[in-house]
């Protein structure tokens, strides 16, 4: 797996938009996508964080304090959730799900469908990169994060195409090659399909910090937000209990 890069990736799947765009990336534009990930606006590669940056990230992680009892409660429930998530059927999965990480989250984008929950957006670094996959004419998140961060990010938007069932393989291949700080994704799938994909994402050291059911497609379309464990300090996130992997 590649070194950690300091940027966000936004997966915005509308009518399976995430999976649609990934097919084109995998088949004909993967090299271009990898180049975009590696290239900053000045044409240089992202470098590993310096020692001072690492210390700054560690200091940021100290600004949120939650009680030991709060974490212990989540750990106790998390052990049970780890068992239940393996056997949950149909909509039971939504009773089992709970955040694996606590962070100062914010919903950016319009109030209705199209908004995304992001962890501590004020800590987005200069020169961050957002890939908005399957944007489908609804850029409200992209617009608001640019306003909130004073245009610190470079955004690449892609239309969606249909890949009919190759979503799982494409996601796995992408995560094997790239590590990103946050994944914001709307999954359109069966209950088992969604559960399996969530567990696959978690296997690459991503922690769930929020989920939101889309009322337009109850129980078949849900927003999920993940943060990678290597970015927890930077974005003031605290691990509660990992039960998905």
**Cα distance between residue 40 and residue 29, in whole Å:** 18
Q: Which pLDDT does position 166 carry in this prediction?
A: 63
Q: List C-alpha distances in Å: 6 to 55, 124, 236.
A: 15, 9, 15
Contact 40, 127 (CB under 8 A): yes
Q: What is the pTM of this model?
A: 0.74
Q: List C-alpha distances in Å: 101 to 74, 147, 156.
A: 10, 26, 27
pLDDT tens column, 35-53 = 444 443 344 443 444 455 4
Phi first, then psi: give them for residue 54, nearest 5 degrees: -60, -45
Sequence spans of domains, the chain = 9-239
Q: Which pLDDT does position 77 carry in this prediction?
A: 94
Q: Which pLDDT does position 127 carry in this prediction?
A: 86
Contact 50, 56 (CB under 8 A): no
User: What six digits make up the tokens of 50?
Assistant: 């310096």
**Residue length of the chain:** 245
User: What six digits make up the tokens of 167?
Assistant: 């979503």
Mean pLDDT in runs of 10 for the chain (245 residues)? 36 31 36 44 41 48 76 93 92 92 93 87 88 74 89 81 63 86 86 89 96 76 92 94 95
For the chain, the straight-line distance linking the first and the last C-alpha, in angstroms and rounded, comes to 18
**Cα distance between residue 76 and residue 89, in whole Å:** 22
Write out the H or E segment, with its range, that includes residue 31: helix 30-38
Best CA proximity match to 130, nearest among 155, 93, 99: 155
Q: Which pLDDT does position 41 carry in this prediction?
A: 37
Continuous H helices in 118-227: 140-148, 167-177, 191-203
pLDDT tens column, 93-107 = 889 999 999 999 999
Instruction: Give the torsion through C-alpha atoms of 81, 112, 183, 64, to 10 deg.
Output: -70
What are the residues facing 132 on neighbouring strands? 10, 157
**Cα distance between residue 90 and residue 216, in whole Å:** 18
Q: Which pLDDT does position 165 carry in this prediction?
A: 57
């Amino acid at each position: 797996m590649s070194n950690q890069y300091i940027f966000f990736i936004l997966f915005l799947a509308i009518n399976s938009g995430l999976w649609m765009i990934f097919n084109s990336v995998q088949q004909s534009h993967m090299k271009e996508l990898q180049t975009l990930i590696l290239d900053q606006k000045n044409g240089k590669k992202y470098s590993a964080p310096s020692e001072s940056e690492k210390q700054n990230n560690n200091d940021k992680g100290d600004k949120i304090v939650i009680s030991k009892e709060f974490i212990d409660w989540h750990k106790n429930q998390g052990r049970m959730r780890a068992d239940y998530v393996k056997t949950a059927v149909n909509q039971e999965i939504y009773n089992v799900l709970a955040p694996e990480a606590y962070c100062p989250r914010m919903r950016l984008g319009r109030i209705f469908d199209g908004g995304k929950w992001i962890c501590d957006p004020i800590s987005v670094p200069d020169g961050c990169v957002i890939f908005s996959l399957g944007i489908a004419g609804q850029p409200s998140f992209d617009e608001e994060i640019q306003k909130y961060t004073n245009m610190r990010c470079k955004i690449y938007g892609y239309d969606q195409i249909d890949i009919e069932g190759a979503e799982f393989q494409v996601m796995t291949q992408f995560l094997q090659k790239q590590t990103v700080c946050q994944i914001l994704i709307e999954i359109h799938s069966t209950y088992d399909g969604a559960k399996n994909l969530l567990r696959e994402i978690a296997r690459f050291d991503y922690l769930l910090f929020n989920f939101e059911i889309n009322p337009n497609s109850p129980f078949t379309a849900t927003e999920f937000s993940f943060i990678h464990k290597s970015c927890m300090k930077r974005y003031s996130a605290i691990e509660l209990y990992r039960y998905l992997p």
